[in-house]
A and B are shown apart, each in its own frame.
Chain A
């Protein structure tokens, strides 16, 4: 699946990832904000709960305080002149009316008892559902030693006692001092006390909405717990004793802050639940107590977490909806693109009839689709055009093929042409260029002693050239039937060609009559490339003269015949300009010098077929892949030594021969010398001959390299070493003319060492050692032939004696 790369998926992924990121940030930010707000709420709530509870307690206490203060005022106002049973009735009434009051006691300082009062400490209290009465004074006025009596007396103000437990009930006593008289006469009479049961306090505090793990507590000014969820520490422990026991300085500090009388809120680690909480505290107005409310922070966190979870769930749901929406939108946007892609695939596969999706609207895809349709139509038209052109070219090609077939059908291709003639070797080849050219060659026996060879090159290419060539060949053959003189034949052919040559074509033509008996050659040339005779000794002869104008242009052009002869072993080489004008990729021409050098290299040792093929190979490797622009046509004729059946004198085995060629550099000479050594070693010649050959080669070639050239171009030096009778070495070079036999200075051999000039020595040496030198200049080449002294000629069985 390559779906993950489609536009649709990319669109979905990018939209969703961006919105997902935004959503996540919003949720996170709202979590932080909610958390902050909730924390503030919680703190405020804790504080207000503590304050409310304090107010509630204050209200309750205030009510009861009012009852007691009222009773005290009543007594003082009547100056204690009320009868004792009236006091008792007041007691009873106040208990009955106020369910928070457990008991009421009116205690009188001994000696101050009003008249008619029977008991000094009249105490009425609840016992079950009814009221009970007891006199707390007894015989020895025990009540005067109680805190609830002495504290108001000495402090001269109402006093709340520390909470205490009485008969299993948590109690607290409110004592109001009673005075008689005013001003200086004012004196302490006794106290009126009211015992309050604190059960309702616990209930009220327990009902405070402080959450599952929150709780309220009440503590006295000295830190004693009055109300606490753990009943074991109520009245038994103070916050400071717990801090001591736990060695908890933080708790002690908290305790100090709480009893300082200032409301506040502190973070607090509950020693009951162990949770991190807030502790809000506030002192009561009525009693010297502190109300505290504790709210669990973890609970709050849970609440926040729940809130965030809800938000996340809503967000996820939103994302899901967004996914679906984006998916739908992306699908609808990309559908035309996908349709177009499918159509384009079909198009790309070559089906140009494939229908494109109908364009919808004017958007980019619609425009793209229209352009695609135009492209397809153009492509169709183009292919149709191409088909027609190809068909036309195919027709032309087949015509050219026919022309080529004509060309190749007209040239003889049977080799050897005269198998019974052992003194003749002949081979010819046409390498046609891509386009058909007008090259041709021909050969046929005039009679049993003479053979005609011809080569020609018609101007232009293609079918006209092929036809012109066919005509030329016919004229040539028919002309030779009536006349054997090449010049006459050439004139005849020329006139025939001029007659009716409306297209002004022409042909370069060389024809020769070769006499098989003595190798004489009579020829005529109509503007054709000069043929060449390769002699077995290595030198070459160019047949440049006489030469007439090209045939087919001007009536009665004069042609003269030339004569030469082919010695035994020599090769006549005919070729067209396809050989000398073959180009390599750098557009350099193969030219006559390369042709000549190649023929020197192959020598006259091989058959004409081998030599021709070798030459064609060399031209091909020179061209190095460059396209062949013209036909390459070569014809070679070699005169062999006649072997007659009547004279079976055996042909001597050819002497071992080493042909070599090297560049005009000392390193190349060194290599050539070593190659020569290897050749001589393989024939096990005498060390003296080996020395002579090496020395001769070094001295002569060094001279050529050092003094033969005026330019810096590379030149080829060619050599033939033949171990026959005599043993010879031939060196040829294309340096400037230099005959070492006449032009070299004679070295001075006399005189002292320091006076002797250096140079001119090598030539003198090899001549002194017996080497005979012969110099000649031929075809712009120096040819030096060295005959080694007879004493060192190798003695090979070159003549097989019967």
Chain B
């Protein structure tokens, strides 16, 4: 998995590349937990380069979302490819995770 971290004001923007499957999902989980432990409670995950997601990937996103929420932060996902978006909606995750079409909208989630 490839991760590119960009800090925009107090929001950590993480661009993720690769497959969010049984082997990739734990890496995403570990990466986001690492950021959270450093104090980045506001995270946007850019999934433009993620072409595949399985239930294992969904689970890890769920775990990340739970951890951030319990730390009092906010998680948003953006730039989902059509197939990933499809999987999200079939699994009902689009209702429980914050999904946006682009980065700007995602960042706007954090402005009160």
Contact = CB atoms under 8 A, between A and B. Distances in A.
A481 to B, nearest CB: 63
How would you classify the secondary structure of chain A's contact residues: helix, strand, loop or mixed? helix
Contacts of B23: 666-667, 670
A763 to B, nearest CB: 9
B55 A756 contact: no
Interface stretch (B5-13, B35-43, B63-71, B104-112): B63-71
Given A666-B22, A761-B91, A765-B87, A756 B62 contact: yes
A762 B87 CA distance: 11
Interface in B56-78: 56, 58-59, 62-63, 65-66, 69-70
Given A752-B96, A753-B96, 20 more contacts: A666-B23, A670-B22, A687-B83, A691-B52, A691-B83, A695-B87, A699-B54, A702-B22, A702-B56, A753-B69, A756-B96, A758-B59, A758-B63, A761-B55, A761-B59, A765-B55, A765-B90, A768-B90, A769-B86, A769-B90
A670 B52 CA distance: 13
A777 to B, nearest CB: 25
A698 interface: yes
A239 interface: no
A754 B69 contact: yes
B97 interface: yes
A669 interface: yes
A753 B52 contact: no
Contacts of B69: 753-754
A669 B62 contact: no
B38 to A, nearest CB: 22
Contacts of A699: 54-55
Contacts of B92: 749
A768 B91 contact: yes
A410 B41 CA distance: 83
B62 A698 contact: no
B27 interface: no
Interface of B: 21-23, 52, 54-56, 58-59, 62-63, 65-66, 69-70, 83, 86-87, 90-92, 95-97
Nearest to B92: A749
5 contacts: A667-B23, A698-B54, A749-B91, A752-B96, A762-B54
A753 B65 contact: yes
A664 to B, nearest CB: 13
Contact of A698 (B56, B66, B95, B97): B56
Contacts of B70: 754
A691 B51 CA distance: 9
A700 to B, nearest CB: 11
A594 interface: no
A748 to B, nearest CB: 9
A691 to B, nearest CB: 5
Interface string A691-722: 10011001100100000000000000000000
A382 interface: no
A670 to B, nearest CB: 6
B22 A765 contact: no
Contacts of A756: 62, 96
A689 to B, nearest CB: 11
A764 B86 CA distance: 14
A698 B59 CA distance: 14
A669 B22 CA distance: 10
A746 B25 CA distance: 22
B7 to A, nearest CB: 25
A667 B21 CA distance: 12
A645 B24 CA distance: 57
A688 interface: yes
How would you classify the secondary structure of chain B's contact residues: helix, strand, loop or mixed? helix
B43 to A, nearest CB: 14
B58 A753 contact: no
Nearest to B87: A765
A87 to B, nearest CB: 152
Contacts of B95: 749
A111 to B, nearest CB: 151
Across the A-B interface, the 9 shortest Cβ-Cβ residue pairs: A762-B55, A749-B92, A761-B55, A768-B90, A698-B54, A758-B59, A754-B66, A753-B96, A753-B65
A761 B62 CA distance: 12
A669 B83 CA distance: 22
B62 A753 contact: yes
Nearest to A751: B96
A284 to B, nearest CB: 123
A218 B99 CA distance: 139
Contacts of A670: 21-23
A670 B18 CA distance: 14
A769 B91 CA distance: 9
Contacts of B90: 765, 768-769
A753 B59 CA distance: 11
A672 to B, nearest CB: 12
Nearest to A749: B92
Contacts of B83: 687-688, 691
A756 B69 CA distance: 13
A670 B56 CA distance: 13
Nearest to A705: B22
Contacts of A753: 62, 65-66, 69, 96-97
Nearest to B60: A758
Contacts of A752: 96
Contacts of B55: 699, 761-762, 765
Interface string A641-668: 0000000000000000000000000110
A752 to B, nearest CB: 7
A413 B83 CA distance: 58
Among B70, B86, B90, the most chain A Cβ lie within 10 Å of the Cβ of: B90
Contacts of A702: 22, 56
Contacts of A669: 22
A764 B22 contact: no
Nearest to B24: A670
A673 to B, nearest CB: 8
Nearest to B59: A758
A695 B54 contact: yes
B101 to A, nearest CB: 20
A754 B66 CA distance: 5
B22 A698 contact: yes
A358 B62 CA distance: 101
Contacts of A694: 21, 52, 54
Contacts of A761: 55, 58-59, 91
A135 to B, nearest CB: 150
Contacts of A754: 66, 69-70
Contacts of A667: 23
A559 to B, nearest CB: 53
A771 to B, nearest CB: 11
B68 to A, nearest CB: 9
Among B22, B52, B59, B66, the most chain A Cβ lie within 10 Å of the Cβ of: B22
Nearest to B90: A768
B106 to A, nearest CB: 17
Contacts of A687: 83
Contacts of B63: 758
A594 B92 CA distance: 43
Nearest to A687: B83
Contact of B21 (A698, A749, A765): A698
A291 to B, nearest CB: 118
A670 B54 CA distance: 13
Interface string A382-412: 0000000000000000000000000000000
Contacts of A769: 86-87, 90
Contacts of B52: 691, 694-695
A246 to B, nearest CB: 104
Interface string A735-756: 0000000000000010011101
Contacts of B54: 694-695, 698-699, 762
A673 B22 CA distance: 11
Contacts of A691: 52, 83
B91 to A, nearest CB: 5
Contacts of A698: 21-22, 54, 56
